[in-house]
Structure 1
Amino acid sequence: MSIGKITGSLSSFNVENTAALVNFNVDLTLFRCEPLAEYRPIGSALTTRRKKEAETGQTHKTACKLGFLLNDLIPDTPLLRKAYGNRVSEILARPDINPLGTNNDGPFQPFVGADCTNIWAAATSGDAAIGVLLLTCMLANAFDAKKAVSIWSELIDQRKANIRLLLENGKMVNPNTVVASNQDITRSELRTWDASARSWLRRADLAMTSQKTRFALIADNIAIPYPGGSSMFEKVTMTWVRAMEVFEKLLANNPQQACDRAIISGIYAWHLYPDLVVFQTEAKKVPFNDSQIPSSGVLSLGLEYRGTPSDSFIRWSLSLSHLKYYGDPVQVKSNEAITRISMPDIWLIALGSLLGNWNVPYTSLSMGMSWFEQLGHRLRSSSQRDRIELSWVLRVCDAVTGLAPEQRDTAERLVKYGCRRGSKLFGVQEAAPTQIAFFGLCSPAFFNSIDEDDEAEVGIKWLRTLSLQVGLEAQDAVISHSKKIGHYDYTEWITTQPIPLKLAQSADDPDLTNDQVNHMRWIHCPLDEDDIATGVLLEQRAAFIRSRGEACKIITHHQGFLHSYPYEERYTRTWHNPPAIFKVSHTYREEEDEGFLVCLGGRYFGYHDYELRIRSKKKGERQWLNLLREAIGTHCDIKTGLAWIAGPTKADKLTQYLLSYLCQFQSVSTPRYNLKRKRQSSVISMPSPQRSAAQSSFDVMTCLLPKSFEVLVGMRVLEVVHKLYETLPGATISLRVIEQNLLKACWLPSSIRKTMELNLSSPMDGHKMITSTPIEDHVKAMTRQDSFACVAMFESGHLNIDPSRLTEVIALCYENSIFVAEILLCDPSTDTTTLGLAHLVGNVGHAGLVFMVSPVEPRVRPAQHDPSLIDHKNYDNGVVDKLRGTSLHLSFTTWKMPLDWDTTGEIDQEAFLLESVVSVQDNGTWIADIDVLGRERESMDIVKFTCDCLDPHFPADGDAVSLDTWEELLDSPPCVGIFRAKDNWAARLAAVSILIQQGKSHVAIVVDGDRVCWRCLDELYSDPEPHPPQVLIY
């Protein structure tokens, strides 16, 4: 009896004999119907493999079982079914969304393209199955795979229980539904069904990116909840049914009002965008001009639940009892509306995390974005814009530069998301010191000093401003600036604030009697009397100082000043017989007790060009350091900082400051010195000075600014990931990755891991290495398994898999992306060390994150006992492709092992190793299964001939034959054989792999290029004795 007759017979049963069907089992999965006209282009767009699976495979069976089981719950929505079919067909018609596989995709060619297997399965399984498909898309869009499968499992169990209860109470139930309730639907089937929907949603989201982004900006600010219910079953089915009903009315040209978020969930999942009327402060029409929705089908949002949208309103909250093997039901929430971003957008997340780390007010994040945009303009116009140390800063700046208004709104949402959720991203502990807000570029001292034209004056003015901020009196502090003039070291001693000039004189220096109040400097240079040239230079310096409106005196004798290096190895210095402003005692003993401590700058901090010295009796060194750090950390409001950096800022000076900040190491702890006051004859034991690479005013300005090694490493890691994803066009990343600590990723390049280890033993060296190492060096240090583990984390958003478990992986598949080791897609003449990963749009039909591995011992067809198959014709110097019928194919065995990266007690695993067979076929005939990674374990010589020999042809009397079939390669000759597969990378790769598996890699070579010079080849293999290769892959 046909399925149609069975269905007709079953539908004629009455209530009494319907109950008898409880134990009657008919295979409803054999049912198949003709799809609606709107869905037929989908079937044409499917690959042969996917179409077969959708029409007769397990996916079709799942569609039938779910359709019949839930049939009585589904409202009749013919307009919605047609509109959805049209929308899917429209999207599939776009080559950028649904690319066709080519020969360059090798064995993955049948798996390339948008996976809409379950859509075609539903279309050929009846109207109810299409309704189930719409629910599948809603759940897949709202929850991750584990939660969605658990929801399905619970829905099915509850639905079956409800059917049994109806029958027990003598209620009428559709016979098809009763029969379907007897069918088993395994979690494995549900995972596959869900995986196909996820793969499709990723492609559809990409096709409708603009519409989805615009809609999300509106929907996330509308305060309406999801439909309620007493159970998870009621909540889900009510949301699903209500969304379908509202959409049906919209498509019937009837305006509708959104009373809950059911319709919003449907819009996200089905990619149908009605025009909106949004009621907030005012009514606003938002047109989407969707071709599938009539012009009068307008949806009104925001008429109820006025107020601030909370997380409980905009996210679906369900209680799941089928998520874990053991325990109470788990409360879960749906995902954010936007869950995936492109790799460049990760810098917006990083910026949000950085601004949050700086404690920038949440309401000022937009101005923070504008500040970085202006910073980028200044850095780009600087002559030092290509410095390695600035690369990550420029990445952040570029992410917020040149955005259109709509892009700006989306970018701001991502920055806010990073600020809220990104505290773990760089592994910064809350109690640890972190980078100063805006790198110190918004501090009052910086603003007050940076506009000085003379670089030396920048540092001096900065120290003066800082001394005022901490409340230092003029008599309690002195600034010094040291440098060379001619062959001499000289020091300028500088007041921190204007003083009466009559107080600038000392007992033996009565020259300064002016009542004027001004800054004062003493230039001290112990100059020989006959050195006239240096004296002229000193006078020129003094004249420059006076031109600035400051008083200045040149002192050339050796006594009477706080001598800086190289005169004494002392930390606390005494100024004997000082000017009146600094005179507080009358004896040498008292003067020593009133010595000056170096509290900022100084040789022992590595910045001996500048010093800020403070009287030792005022406060201890540690107290002054804390006060200075607090003052340095003070910054103005962002609005002022933005106005400054957007103004006529000198790009090179700003860049030099930023480089000084990024390149300098700042120890978290204060150096411990023995600060007991000693007699002048005593010498304090000091540590070796830490000399900076560049001595400038910016060094002293940044020497006390806190810097986070973790943030620097995290930014470098993001640069590595960005570089990796630049080779994977079209790939996106999960926003869940923001919850990861990048510094604990198992896949970090060895170079970064070594830097982190070095930082533990030598923080200065670790800091220098992380800031100055080119990012390309870190990328080169990544192995293939590191790359796969990195992609796994950013694709899933949370899987941190040990790369050592991925050494045999040849490809990774997740949702709509396949990442393939390029060694599987390239000619064997390519150097394997230059190969990475390739990204293909597609799906291999397995749920979860699947790592594909080759069998341990791939099979090779043995040589056959048929002499007629072998010609081994003499080689005629022809360069041709005789293996055009060769193709690579991918299939899977039943071996599938979960990767237990975490023990959670959850029922469904997410990451698997899947045994995947790459087979070689010749015009459909199996030749061998190959392991392409064998090329890395057993290298084969690659020879490229670049000589200018006049007669490179093979000698007429030479002993060599052509290998023009696979049988001739498998049954190789005793002489030289030339495997002729010119420009056929698949055949050449297969031949190399087969020879390696046969243990013949040492007797074969791969020819790279268009010619072979036999004379040079003989010379190449003549030492220590002639040993020409037996096989040439040509």
Structure 2
Amino acid sequence: MASFGRLQAALVAATNEVTVAAANLNFDFTLIKCEAPKEFQELGSALSEKRKNNAEGGSTHITARRLGALFENMLPPTPNLAKSYGTRVSEIAQASRQNNSPRVENSMFAAHVGVDGTSIWAAATSSPTALQVQLLACMLARLWSASEATSIWFEIVKERRKQVENLWNDETSLPYSTVAAAAQSDISRSSLAEWDASARAWLRTADRANERHQDQLMSLLETINMPINQDTLYCSVVSAWKSALETMEHLVTGMPQAVNEGSCILALSAWHLYPDIVLAGSDQPPSKFSDPLVQFGGILTFGLARPGDTKARGVFWSLSLAHLNFYGRPVSRQANFGFESRKLNFEQFTQTIFGALLGYWGLTGPLAHYPARFFISLRQALERESTLNQTNSQTRELCRQVLLDPSHGVNILFRLASAYMEAKDFSDDLIHKLLALGGKRASRLLPSSGARPFLGFHDVGTIISRLKGPGERVTFLRRIASSMPYNPDAYIIRYFDSEDSDGVSRSRLCGFASAHARRQPGTGTLQHARWAPRLFLDSHDTRNEVISEMDDNTSLSLGSEPRVFALQGKDGSGQPALQRFHYVCGIVGSAALFVEESSLNAVPQAIHPDPSRDPHTHSSPSIIPHSGPYPSRNPSIQDLIWCLDSGLFDTRRLIDLFNPTASNPSPQILTLQALQVAHVVYRTLPDAAISTRALDRSLFSTKWATHARQRITAAMRDQQPPPQLHLHQALSCIAYLEGGFDLDPEGLGRAFALAFEESIYFSMQMTCDPWDTPSPHEVKRITGNIGKSGLTLLIPPKDSMTPDRDESAWRLITTTEFNGKPENHFSKTSMHLSFTEYYVPLVQSGDVQEQDSQVFLLESVISVMPRLEGILTGKEARIGLYEVSSVADMFRYYPHFMTTSRTDAVKREDNDLVISVREPYGVTAGICAYNAPLGIYAMKAGPALAAGNVIIIKASETNPLSTLFAVSLASQAHIPIGVIQCVTGGLEPGKALAEHAKIRKLSFTGSISAGKAIQVAAARGNLKSVTLELGGKSPVVVFPDVDLDMAAHNIAGQLFMLNAQVCATGSRIYAHESIIDDLIAKMKAIVNAGEAARVPGRDPLDMNTTWSPIYNYKQYEVVKGFLSDIDRQATVVTGGVVVEGPGCYVQPTIVRHPIEGARVVKEEVSGPILVVDEFTTEEEALAKANDTETGLTATLWTTDFGRILRFSKGMEAGMIQVNRGLSVGAQMPFGGSKPEFFLAWRLPSQHLPQLAE
């Protein structure tokens, strides 16, 4: 915004005390982190390290801080809502955490598995307003698609910045952070998309955890029709936001509320807080949710849908999106939140498809039980055929194969039919709502402009074509003739021994059978008659029938007439007469029903069945209206069921109904086939969710279904077995059903995983035991994501990097025979998933004009690394894994920063342009410490290479292997030989590097004494530039205005973070005299409560290990030296002794009342000892905090913003944390500020110039 230049200039010249102080500090408010409220703490503990670091200091935290600051002071305070929300999200996070599989948590997806509460934790560690912004993110993600929500965010941010600018121009008092947030550059769409993606993933996880309450709420939405205010986008969103915040704040405190618009309903669904609900004007009793987080009396009342309103039920929101497309007028969009927008599991999805089929057949409501009975009878018929000895062996085997295949259409429809029959008498059952939903979408799912016969049975002939033989066809036609409109005796059945679908051949024998049984003279019994050639009589069962033999010539002659033939008979007076018969229904070349011509002159009776034969037939719906020239009863589904129960159908031909080889299969068969393919994919995904967007178009027209159908058809044409599905087909199917993205399987050939919202889908072959052999298409789902918006397909690099073969190195392979006992021989090996910068859109959104792509390809690398770090240092595996991932972050971040950094340029008053160009030093060196060898290596090598240097790394002499291994990976990354080198050893290599004349830059991490020696050696060599990081004795200052539980938990936790062997550990604690006793008591309780779990000797490679030993014996002796005389220097509160037994373990120790000049206060221990002292005034606290020769970090616990700024300026430390522990990362500053402490690391813009001149 051009006019913000004035505002930005004004910020520099501001006279406000706070603003000036912040400006003097070069204050970046987005880097401030607050301690999250205690209600959110369990959420923080459930997050993976990667997500937590992003939330506390990465891009999501910056977005949360900026959005929170931008909207500060314009929203109502909601402290009670924040507490309730924090408690609920912690409950959800902990419940979801327990569902994670240990196998997956230790897999390559470990950093990405679990609940994604990144946006919530980022907001909780930012500000109360940021939490309210996160609540809005959940509301928008609940109702709008990802691209729509991102566009809404972009527009409200833009409008709010304009609003702040106008307020500034009107000289309205504004918080510094709000002005700064408005004056900074736009928040990028990618940042807003990432913000929305995290909220969207959280909603999915939270919905699963609160499924019962969400379903109860969805049921209520069917009775309402409530819009959200319709105004300009910014006003509409802000109004709905404020209304929801205020209403929910009152509800959780027990104040009843009545609403007449939908924002509150949307909010309680998105925030998962459930007050009891009353429907005004309804006789229904209040809906009891009994949510303990809503105090008694918090009852929400809203109105029913307006009478006669035909709109879909739920909450509606219409907005005009000005920033959805690259170009053009604003796009009007309406979103609906109701039953039809819910997520479905696969079983529910199949029930909606069943409902669509019922709608396609016109068999909805009470008529649905007829097709349900048919599918149950069909399954029972196959079961009978699979066990009957008289059944053909091939048919019997086919039936068994079908019955054993859960994905076959017969079994899918049987399960659906059975579920319906069990629930048909319970009108409130969910299945009825799902069937109704499918019925509404029938025209989209099964588009058809012609007839819609049930399973293709469009007339009597199609039924006959699937019966076993002549006897079964005659039996069926007699059933049809029993309810014909003319005299039953006027009908006759002609049948052939074999079928001829092309017509009637002149060389075929035929026979005739009575259509209606006649009472025999004398006996009075009803018997059918049969007139057929001897061949027929010998081969067909004609028991209990009156038999007349026909000569072959007559049979051949009568069989040659297609639709009309004549028989010699008698007229009404008994005289011989020629009777002509006309075709009515059936197949003329197989079996058909004919009627005598003279009877057609009579008035036809109403067509109805004989109730004595089938009391149910009268209500059974017809398959399709009869279209023949003469009246005939339409075949019904009851006829089909009767045929099944009577064993008339040829089961092979019934199974062929589900075969896609027909030249022009109908939409119903194609849909069933697509459903079968989807069922194969989802058999291993019981907890996967499906979007109702998948119901907006025909399944069979999707690319994954078409691809599968073409392969199956080709295989059957070539008489090959059905081909197995492949992974790319499965991922294409999941992409469509999960997100509505119709992707060509052929374009996904390289993909091995798919990430969308809160789910990661990947090939089961990646995590199964090598002994197992899952099918290529089998996919596993885990709760997690990779932090990207939209749908992301993970693909491998085209050329993978593998270690170069060393012909001189031997690889020994054991020849011991396997004893049958599975053993883990990879316990010292880990796998890590990381991503390159190759992140490109695969397809745009549905409209190519939209700005936000929704499907991306992300190049992903799986690295296999031994856990050398844990073996060499005893470091816990959970910490070691994070350090490994930080190495990749360093090497990934600094090159990216170099592409975006700017050259310094100054324009003088005489119009001369002065440009400062920095050149690399050339050869640099880095000396690493023992406590974090991998992390320190990356912090030195990453920026050195990015600035154009080569670097020689000296690994720690006590644990060099992990550094050597990391350096060896450089060649695999195509870094030329010699650019990164590594030497090992003690003092001599370090001294040589410091003195060498060709090394022009040296970075050292270690003790003060060693650092001084390095400085002297460097001066003796070539006066090279030296950066020293010499440890720390960092202070923590605690004031009474903070939550002591949070402070105690954070401070005491440092004792177990690498056993306090970190230079940035806050080891000197200064607490105000009014709270010191309480703080010590809480810290002691925390330390002692965890003692039983911290058993010395636990394997550091165990992910559950939380207590590590001292890293090496030399340092162990140093710590023991501090403990030996600690009683003479201070009062021991807890600990203070060495743990007996194997390993270098020391009890976590807290002491207080240190004497003046106590060594434990002045010197760095690098072990688990905290010193606690008290202060009275701010001046005293500041003096004690600065009383150290090292000034690496400092921590301040207070909620007073003025005090924060005073201490930030007065504390002599390079890094200051407020209300939290240390956060490190490639983007974060790291360095000290004492004269003895040469600045080690700052922000990249300040640090990289140190590696160039």
Structure-2-length-normalised TM-score: 0.56
Q: 211, 214, 229: which is aligned to 2:213?
A: 211
Q: 465, 473, 476: which is aligned to 1:459?
A: 476
CA contact (8 A) 2:346 2:686 kept: no
Relative distance call for 1:322 and 1:568 in structure 2 (3 A) is: same
Question: What does residue 916 of structure 1 align with?
Answer: 860
Give the Cα separation in 1 of the matches to 2:513 and 2:69. Answer: 92
Relative distance call for 1:289 and 1:707 in structure 2 (3 A) is: farther
CA contact (8 A) 2:317 2:334 kept: yes
Give the Cα separation in 2 of the matches to 1:421 and 1:874. Answer: 61
Q: 782, 791, 808: which is aligned to 1:849?
A: 791
Give the Cα separation in 1 of the matches to 2:573 and 2:673. Answer: 49
By how many angstroms is 1:308 displaced? 4.2
CA contact (8 A) 1:784 1:836 kept: yes
Question: What does residue 835 of structure 2 align with?
Answer: 892
CA contact (8 A) 1:373 1:400 kept: yes
Question: What does residue 805 of structure 1 align with?
Answer: 747
By how many angstroms is 1:795 displaced? 1.2
CA contact (8 A) 2:658 2:673 kept: no
CA contact (8 A) 2:708 2:729 kept: no
Question: What does residue 293 of structure 1 align with?
Answer: 294
Q: 220, 223, 227: which is aligned to 2:222?
A: 220
By how many angstroms is 1:73 displaced? 2.6
Measured against aligned partners, the alpha-carbon deviations of 1:875-921 in whole angstroms (never above 9, x if no partner) come to: 69598876532111111111111112665211000001001111121
Q: Residue 703 of structure 2 aligns to a residue in which SS?
A: coil
By how many angstroms is 1:100 displaced? 5.7
CA contact (8 A) 1:598 1:612 kept: yes
By how many angstroms is 1:163 displaced? 2.0
Question: What does residue 409 of structure 1 align with?
Answer: 429
Question: What does residue 326 of structure 2 align with?
Answer: 325
Measured against aligned partners, the alpha-carbon deviations of 1:322-350 in whole angstroms (never above 9, x if no partner) come to: 11112222121224434311111112111
Match status 1:75 vs 2:92: no
Q: 480, 493, 498: which is aligned to 2:494?
A: 480
Q: Residue 106 of structure 1 aligns to a residue in which SS?
A: coil
Q: 556, 560, 563: which is aligned to 1:569?
A: 560
Give the Cα separation in 2 of the matches to 1:231 and 1:306. Answer: 29
Measured against aligned partners, the alpha-carbon deviations of 1:536-569 in whole angstroms (never above 9, x if no partner) come to: x99x968x45xxxxxx6x544649x9x5558643
How many pairs align? 799
Give the Cα separation in 1 of the matches to 2:285 and 2:456. Answer: 38
Relative distance call for 1:96 and 1:480 in structure 2 (3 A) is: farther
Give the Cα separation in 2 of the matches to 1:635 and 1:876. Answer: 70
By how many angstroms is 1:142 displaced? 0.7
- Please tell me whether Structure 1 or Structure 2 has the larger radius of gyration of its CA atoms: 2
CA contact (8 A) 1:572 1:595 kept: no
CA contact (8 A) 1:242 1:262 kept: yes
Match status 1:580 vs 2:597: no
Q: Residue 835 of structure 2 aligns to a residue in which SS?
A: strand
By how many angstroms is 1:420 displaced? 1.1
Match status 1:653 vs 2:646: yes
CA contact (8 A) 2:379 2:410 kept: no
Matches within 5 A, 1:590-989: 595-602=580-587, 604=589, 607-608=590-591, 610-612=592-594, 615=597, 626-627=627-628, 633=634, 652-653=645-646, 656=649, 663=656, 709-748=666-705, 752-754=709-711, 780-796=723-739, 798-826=740-768, 836-862=778-804, 884-900=827-843, 904-923=848-867
Residue identity matched to 2:863: S
Give the Cα separation in 2 of the matches to 1:923 and 1:102. Answer: 17
Question: What does residue 1066 of structure 2 align with?
Answer: none
Relative distance call for 1:464 and 1:407 in structure 2 (3 A) is: closer
Give the Cα separation in 1 of the matches to 2:433 and 2:98. Answer: 26
Measured against aligned partners, the alpha-carbon deviations of 1:131-169 in whole angstroms (never above 9, x if no partner) come to: 001000000011111111111111111111222233334
Question: What does residue 274 of structure 1 align with?
Answer: 275
Give the Cα separation in 1 of the matches to 2:724 and 2:167. Answer: 64
CA contact (8 A) 1:349 1:422 kept: no
Match status 1:27 vs 2:48: no
CA contact (8 A) 1:54 1:120 kept: yes
Relative distance call for 1:465 and 1:253 in structure 2 (3 A) is: same
Residue identity matched to 1:416: A
Relative distance call for 1:894 and 1:924 in structure 2 (3 A) is: farther
Residue identity matched to 2:492: V
Give the Cα separation in 2 of the matches to 1:575 and 1:582. Answer: 19
Matches within 5 A, 1:390-405: 390-403=410-423
By how many angstroms is 1:79 displaced? 0.7
* Structure possessing the higher relative contact order (Cα contacts under 8 Å, 6 or more residues apart): 1
Give the Cα separation in 2 of the matches to 1:872 and 1:781. Answer: 38
Question: What does residue 530 of structure 2 align with?
Answer: 523
By how many angstroms is 1:182 displaced? 2.0
Q: Residue 65 of structure 2 aligns to a residue in which SS?
A: helix
Question: What does residue 340 of structure 1 align with?
Answer: 343
Question: What does residue 1027 of structure 2 align with?
Answer: none
Question: What does residue 432 of structure 1 align with?
Answer: 450
Residue identity matched to 1:218: L
Give the Cα separation in 2 of the matches to 1:878 and 1:481. Answer: 70
CA contact (8 A) 2:198 2:787 kept: yes
Question: What does residue 175 of structure 2 align with?
Answer: 174
Relative distance call for 1:175 and 1:863 in structure 2 (3 A) is: same
Match status 1:384 vs 2:383: yes
Question: What does residue 610 of structure 2 align with?
Answer: none
CA contact (8 A) 2:375 2:410 kept: no
Relative distance call for 1:566 and 1:819 in structure 2 (3 A) is: farther
Give the Cα separation in 2 of the matches to 1:194 and 1:123. Answer: 16
RMSD of aligned alpha carbons: 5.0
By how many angstroms is 1:16 displaced? 14
Matches within 5 A, 1:174-213: 174-183=175-184, 184-213=186-215
By how many angstroms is 1:121 displaced? 0.4
Give the Cα separation in 1 of the matches to 2:667 and 2:573. Answer: 44
By how many angstroms is 1:578 displaced? 2.4
Residue identity matched to 2:416: V
Relative distance call for 1:624 and 1:28 in structure 2 (3 A) is: closer
Relative distance call for 1:748 and 1:243 in structure 2 (3 A) is: same
Measured against aligned partners, the alpha-carbon deviations of 1:5-54 in whole angstroms (never above 9, x if no partner) come to: xxxx99997999999x99x9963211211111100111111111111111
Give the Cα separation in 2 of the matches to 1:624 and 1:881. Answer: 68
Relative distance call for 1:340 and 1:751 in structure 2 (3 A) is: closer
Residue identity matched to 1:155: I
Measured against aligned partners, the alpha-carbon deviations of 1:651-678 in whole angstroms (never above 9, x if no partner) come to: 7338949986664799999xxxxxxxxx
By how many angstroms is 1:754 displaced? 4.8
By how many angstroms is 1:516 displaced? 15
By how many angstroms is 1:820 displaced? 1.2
Give the Cα separation in 2 of the matches to 1:741 and 1:330. Answer: 26
Q: Residue 121 of structure 1 aligns to a residue in which SS?
A: helix
Give the Cα separation in 2 of the matches to 1:725 and 1:346. Answer: 11
Residue identity matched to 1:315: F
Q: Residue 331 of structure 1 aligns to a residue in which SS?
A: strand
Q: Residue 831 of structure 2 aligns to a residue in which SS?
A: strand
Relative distance call for 1:208 and 1:299 in structure 2 (3 A) is: same
Residue identity matched to 1:357: Y
Residue identity matched to 1:347: T
Relative distance call for 1:224 and 1:733 in structure 2 (3 A) is: closer
Match status 1:350 vs 2:353: yes
Give the Cα separation in 2 of the matches to 1:134 and 1:145. Answer: 16
CA contact (8 A) 1:818 1:841 kept: yes
Give the Cα separation in 1 of the matches to 2:594 and 2:694. Answer: 45
